[in-house]
Chain A
Amino acid sequence: DVKVTQSSRYLVKRTGEKVFLECVQDMDHENMFWYRQDPGLGLRLIYFSYDVKMKEKGDIPEGYSVSREKKERFSLILESASTNQTSMYLCASFDGTGNEKLFFGSGTQLSVL
């Protein structure tokens, strides 16, 4: 069974802290994505990656960075967490074989106090 695993289900951090959200997929997908999910706004793309060490900005990259050192792992970094980054963060990987199907992790609910 395909799996996208996010390291934490719930996370509480303080303003100004550096936060790492980890995501691992076991499907050998080249494409990985980070979204945030907020009520009334749906999912918004933060960053995505087509390959190892490659990254592209999505729609709302400000305040975030990413790292893709290995194909299976895509990390989202909040350099200095702020309260407006309190959100549900979803990682996804893409089956690029023609199925156009995103596989999602179960999400990390981050609260910044």
Chain B
Amino acid sequence: GDSVTQMEGPVTLSEEAFLTINCTYTATGYPSLFWYVQYPGEGLQLLLKATKADDKGSNKGFEATYRKETTSFHLEKGSVQVSDSAVYFCALSHVLNNNNDMRFGAGTRLTVKP
């Protein structure tokens, strides 16, 4: 079945450091790919998404490119801030359904220190 594997955390960085959180997937067909973020004490919220190969999703300085050849969707940010401290989840879904097939990775906790 479909699955998502993301790098284990926790990840601790200093402010203004470069961030990469790796995500690879296994899926039939052509799923949509997502990054969700969970700030402390809050529910998950969509950070960015990409719906087809070579698409780049971007939001709040974060980027991820849908790479079909490597089945990856790595999250990057050039300069992290303390406010980026959160848990990040990679996910995939076959869009035309009702999202009941959304599959999440295990989550990666990021801590950014001043």
Contacts and interface: CB of A to CB of B under 8 A. Distances in A.
Interface of A: 4, 31, 33, 35, 37, 40-45, 48, 50, 56, 58, 90, 92, 94, 96, 100-102, 104-107
Contacts, number: 57
B77 interface: no
A100 B104 contact: no
Main secondary structure of the interface of A (DSSP, over half): strand
A56 B100 contact: yes
5 contacts: A4-B43, A42-B106, A44-B104, A102-B36, A106-B42
Contacts of B106: 40-42
Contacts of A44: 104
Interface of B: 4, 32, 34, 36, 41-46, 49, 51, 89, 93, 95, 98-100, 102, 104-107
A8 to B, nearest CB: 14
Contact of B99 (A41, A102, A106, A107): A102
Contacts of A94: 98-99
A107 B102 contact: no
A37 B107 CA distance: 10
